[in-house]
Structure formats: C-alpha cells, structure tokens
Amino acid sequence: MTRQALLFLFYVVLFLVSSCVESEYKVYNTSQGIVPGKLNVHLVAHTHDDVGWLKTVDQYYVGSNNSIQGACVQNILDSLIPALLADKNRKFIYVEQVVKSLTSPKKCKRKLLAMSALRYSGAATLRKFLSPNAMTVIWCLCDISFQLVIAFFQRWWREQSEAMQQVVRQLVSSGQLEFINGGMSMHDEAVTHYIDMIDQTTLGHRFIKNEFGVTPRIGWQIDPFGHSAVQAYLLGADVGFDSLFFGRIDYQDRTKRKNEKSLEVIWQGSRNFRSSAQIFAGAFPKNYEPPPGGFYFEVNDDSPIVQDDINLFDYNVQDRVNDFVAAAVSQVNRDGYLHGRIFPAWLDVYECNVFIKRSFIKANITRTNHIMWTMGTDFKYQYAHTWFRQMDKLIHYVNMDGRVNALYSTPSIYTDAKYAANEFWPLKIDDFFPYADRANAYWTGYFSSRPALKRYVRMMSGYYLAARQLEFFKGRSNTGPNTDSLADALAIAQHHDAVTGTEKQHVADDYAKRLSIGHMEAEGVVATSLACLADSMSYDGCNRATLKFQQAKDLSS
C-alpha cells in the first residue's frame, strides 16, 4: 500500500468515526393531515402587516426608520418564498395587497408625453381646470409613485423576475401560499363607509384574480377594533367568503363565549337577508398571536427553540412537546379542573394520556376537535426560516408523541374541517361593538378622532364615485389621467390604522398626501370627461373638445 492510500484510509476512518458522534441530517415529517378522533392543532403561519401605523406604508415596505419600529415587509416576502420552497408541506397566508397603480418607468414616460402633448396642443384647457401647481404635481407623480403608491404584496410582486413570479404562482396554485381577505388593506369596520369597503376589497380581489386566477375564500379581519354586522353579510357572505375570522371582541363577551363555546358562530348580519346572507364566523380565544407557552420564533424572540440535537447541551424535545400539548389542551378544556390554566408540567406522559382519554375527546372552546393557532403577529417572518424551522420540529415531535395532532394548515383547511364536522353552531346577530379589551378600556375614541382626516376621506370617497362615472362616459385612459391613484389612496385610507386616526401624525399626513395627489389627477379626469360629454354632439367631440371645465373652489368651508 502506498503512503497516499494509507492516508486516504485514515481519513475515511476518521470521517466514519466522527460521523457517529456528529449530528446527522434530519428529515422532519411535516406531511401530517387531519386525524379524525384526535385533537387537531392547525398551525396557521401568518404575518400582520399594517399599511401604515407607527410608520408610513412605504417605511414599512422598505424597512426604513427602524428606530420607530423594526419592520420591513420586503424582508418578509423575500424570505418567505425560499422557506416555502424548502418544504412543500409548509403553508402561509398573506393578507395585505395594497395598491396597484402600476406606473412602470416606460408607462410613466408615456404618461408624461401624453400630458405635455395635451398641454401644448390642447392649449389652455389643462391650465384652466388644473391649479397652477397641478402640472408639477402630475410630473412628480411619475417619480414618486414607486415609493408612494405601490406597496406590499403588489409592490413586491412587480419587483420580481418572471422566474420568481412563476415560482410564486406555483406556490399559490398548490395552496402553499394563500391569499385571504384579499383587500388592499384590512379595513376598519366602524368609521368606514360601506362603499369604500366594497371598493377597496374589489380592487384587491381583482388583482389576485388577474394575476393568479383565484378568489380569496376567507375573511380575516384580525385586528380591527370591533366588528360590524355589515362585515358579516355584505363584506363576508355576499363577497363569497366561506368564513370570517377576527381577533378583537369585548373582553367580557369573549369570556362568556369561551365558557359557552360560542366563539365560533353562524353570523346573520342582516335582519332582512338573515340566513341567505349568513357566514361561519370565529373570534379567536385570545388574540391573533401564538398561544401562551412560548411559541414566538422571530430571530430575537425569547421563546425556547426546539433543541433536538442530543450531542449539544440543552436538549429539550420532550419539554417543548409537553408545552405544545399543554397549550393545545388548555385551549380545549374550560370545564375541567385545569380551568383554562396551562396543563401542569408535572403530569407525565402516561397520566396525560389517561387524562386526555377521560375528558378531552372534543375541543370545548371551539366545538369539534379542531383548534387554530395563529402562528405569527405584527410584521413577523422577516426571516421566515426561524418560524418554519421550529414548526417543522414541533409538528414532527408532537405527532411522534401522539397525544395531539399538529399540522400545517390555513384558515381554508380549518374552515373545511369545521364544515365537515357537521356541528351545531350558535347564532349571532348584530355587531361586535363597542370593543373593550379590559375594564374601562373602551376603544370608542377612534369613532371621532382626527375628524379632519375622516372628513377628507369621506369627501374624496364621494368625489371618486362621481369621477369614476364620468370617466366611464369618456372612456378610461390608461396613459392619461385616470382615477387609479385616487382609488389606491382611498383603499389604504380604509386601513384600521388610517381613517380610524390611530396612526402617528406623520402617517396621517402621508395618507392625506396620497389622497391629495389622487384628487388632483381625478380632477383632470372630471374636467376632460365633462368637456367630452358637453361636446358629444359634434363630430369627434371628445378629441377636440373646446369647452373647458374647472373645479370650483369649495365655498362651504
């Protein structure tokens, strides 16, 4: 044997020996579906991304001004895709669409050309109905619409390559990535006008339909501060949703409903339409975060991770499995002697089994043996792997343990399971208003706070309605001024931290600025449309309209 061969042999032996003590590649079995007869814990991975609150919608998207709040939506969407691709059983839901108005550079140039053509050939027309600064504003619009108007999913979407878009389409069609709610924003339900809610929902759904060919099935109003019956029938049942979930109901109502197992109901929001416009609706047992017991897995969160490498210190698989089962079981049982407290750790596996067999055949807060864990909260999943890595392990080890069944799920899967259970559900009519999250903490100030912004939103809403109809008569222009940017600005303004007034001052200013820019452009639409209508008798009236219209100053104020 040559010296080299010996050396080679030595390394091979060294490798074999060392691989015995080193950890090896582990495959986590996350393929588990629903298991009948067991308590099924549906892990719903989600992030709640406000389109403006402490930061503006743009600051949230790009992740600037992190001293205010460490939040970057771009990170979330960027890290999500590889995390989903890594395991086809992983699932995620995305909620906030926000605002299209796709002004690509090319289009923008065309728009500018059209505008200047109008200006120079169409003579004084433009100047008459636009304020002296309006031309500048429209010029600016093309530049700032990147930062101003396009945001969150749609914005991210347009930044992706064809290849990446294809990958995302695949994820959507396989059900790994699901759009729920699907409006531009998660609108408030108290201070919004129903027409604005319909408009912003339509805008979002249309985008999803056009790009992905799907229609959202589930309403997901997890953060608005109380809930309106209009949401149940008009923006729920009539939109075509199969269910509607939310987080914030009065704290006393919640306690009562937990005890009566009536967190989940059939909600008949309309006194007129009753059962013809009803929807399965569920309030969460606590909020839209993971259950108590340490299940937050953002990079900096301090929940214990599942340490399953026996060669390293702090191996804790059994502890974490127990935590998981305890949290699941405590969500189930309201009547047992645990009474809503965490399942005591001193109960060993055997006792647990007996215990569970004896009294936990069915989930008692929610009826049926299905419970949903909302795995995420505000602006989480900025590095999506941290969450999925831990959930992979939890699903794997909890199912090996076998006391409860854990699975990657979505609200759609959960809803289907509830329907399949063929259970009787209590009836709910009327609103979930007002909302108090604890004693003497009524969220009613926002009904009237920031009245100027509320009025502005309402005025713009009316103007948009009129402008859109005039736009229809003349024919919509994709290049010239149109009502898109006003539609977009209004859509974000319905967000539960926008028209409500619960945002910071600089964010309120940002919403007003968007409305103002949209308004300016819509005024252009109104003027040309009126001219066109007035001249419609003449041959080729719309192209050579001679009448000039100008927005009157609002004399009422």
Ligand X SMILES: *[C@@H]1O[C@H](CO)[C@@H](O)[C@H](O)[C@H]1NC(C)=O
Q: Which residues bind ligand X (CB under 6 A)?
A: 29, 31-32, 64-65, 68, 332-333, 335-336, 359-362, 364, 506
Residue 223 interaction partner, one of ligand X, Zn ion, none, beta carbon < 5-8 Å per kind: Zn ion
Strand partners, 41: 371, 406
Strand partners, 282: 245, 264
**By C-beta, is 58 or 223 nearer to Zn ion?**
223
Strand partners, 519: none
Residue of 50, 78, 178, 484 interacting with Zn ion (CB under 5 A) = 50
Min dist. Cβ of residue 328 to ligand X (A): 12
Which contacts (CB < 8 Å, 24+ apart) does range 56-61 have? 56/506, 56/507, 56/510, 57/98, 57/99, 57/151, 57/152, 57/492, 57/510, 58/147, 58/148, 58/151, 58/510, 60/151, 60/152, 60/379, 61/151, 61/152, 61/155, 61/156
Min dist. Cβ of residue 312 to Zn ion (A): 38
**By C-beta, is 115 or 492 nearer to ligand X?**
492
Residue 84 interaction partner, one of ligand X, Zn ion, none, beta carbon < 5-8 Å per kind: none
Min dist. Cβ of residue 486 to Zn ion (A): 24
**By C-beta, is 246 or 360 nearer to ligand X?**
360
Residue of 199, 223, 298, 521 interacting with Zn ion (CB under 5 A) = 223
**By C-beta, is 336 or 426 nearer to ligand X?**
336
Query: SS3 breakdown of the chain: % helix, strand, coil, rounded to 5?
Result: 45, 10, 45
The residue type found at 271 is: R
Alpha carbons 57 and 148: distance in angstroms, whole number:
8
* CA 406, chain centre distance (Å): 23
Instruction: Record the tokens describing residue 347, joined without a space.
Output: 């109960």
Stretch that binds Zn ion, among 50-58, 198-206, 211-219, 323-331 (CB under 5 A): 50-58
Min dist. Cβ of residue 217 to Zn ion (A): 21
**By C-beta, is 373 or 435 nearer to ligand X?**
373
Min dist. Cβ of residue 441 to ligand X (A): 27
- Which of 149, 151, 128 shows the shortest CA–CA distance to 140? 149
Residue 78 interaction partner, one of Zn ion, ligand X, none, beta carbon < 5-8 Å per kind: none
Residue 65 interaction partner, one of ligand X, Zn ion, none, beta carbon < 5-8 Å per kind: ligand X
* CA 251, chain centre distance (Å): 24
**By C-beta, is 16 or 27 nearer to ligand X?**
27
Alpha carbons 123 and 104: distance in angstroms, whole number:
28
For the chain, give the longest Cα–Cα distance: 103
Alpha carbons 419 and 41: distance in angstroms, whole number:
16
- Residue 58 makes contact with Zn ion by CB under 5 A: no
**By C-beta, is 154 or 364 nearer to ligand X?**
364
Whether 250 contacts 256, CB under 8 Å: no
- Residue 49 makes contact with Zn ion by CB under 5 A: no
Min dist. Cβ of residue 69 to ligand X (A): 11
Whether 520 contacts 138, CB under 8 Å: yes
Residue 88 interaction partner, one of Zn ion, ligand X, none, beta carbon < 5-8 Å per kind: none
Buried b (16+ CB within 10 A) or exposed e, 246-278: bbbbbeeebeebbeebbbbbbbbbbeeeeeebb
Residue 333 interaction partner, one of Zn ion, ligand X, none, beta carbon < 5-8 Å per kind: ligand X
Applying CB under 5 A, what is the total number of residues that bind Zn ion? Answer: 2
Whether 177 contacts 84, CB under 8 Å: yes
Alpha carbon distances (Å) from 452 to 299, 456, 511: 40, 6, 12
- Residue 188 makes contact with Zn ion by CB under 5 A: no
Residue 50 interaction partner, one of Zn ion, ligand X, none, beta carbon < 5-8 Å per kind: Zn ion
- Residue 289 makes contact with Zn ion by CB under 5 A: no
Residue matched to tokens 């989940």? 264
**By C-beta, is 70 or 434 nearer to ligand X?**
70
**By C-beta, is 248 or 320 nearer to Zn ion?**
248
**By C-beta, is 201 or 333 nearer to ligand X?**
333
- Residue 178 makes contact with Zn ion by CB under 5 A: no
Alpha carbon distances (Å) from 10 to 16, 17, 167, 293, 379: 10, 11, 45, 49, 52
- Residue 323 makes contact with Zn ion by CB under 5 A: no
Stretch that binds Zn ion, among 19-27, 220-228, 334-342, 454-462 (CB under 5 A): 220-228
Residue 29 interaction partner, one of ligand X, Zn ion, none, beta carbon < 5-8 Å per kind: ligand X
Residue 336 interaction partner, one of ligand X, Zn ion, none, beta carbon < 5-8 Å per kind: ligand X
**By C-beta, is 250 or 401 nearer to ligand X?**
401
DSSP letter string over 383-403? TTHHHHHHHHHHHHHHHHH-S
Strand ranges across the sheet with 40-45:
370-375, 40-45, 405-408
Strand partners, 266: 280, 427
Min dist. Cβ of residue 501 to Zn ion (A): 14
Q: List all residues 6 or more positions away from 341 whose beta carbon is below 8 Å from its beta carbon.
A: 330
Min dist. Cβ of residue 65 to ligand X (A): 4
Stretch that binds Zn ion, among 11-19, 46-54, 153-161, 194-202 (CB under 5 A): 46-54
**By C-beta, is 48 or 90 nearer to Zn ion?**
48
Residue 471 interaction partner, one of ligand X, Zn ion, none, beta carbon < 5-8 Å per kind: none
Task: Count other Cβ atoms within 10 Å, centred on residue 439.
Answer: 8
Min dist. Cβ of residue 27 to ligand X (A): 7
DSSP state of 552: P
Residue 389 interaction partner, one of ligand X, Zn ion, none, beta carbon < 5-8 Å per kind: none
Min dist. Cβ of residue 49 to Zn ion (A): 8
Name the site residues for Zn ion (rule: CB under 5 A).
Answer: 50, 223
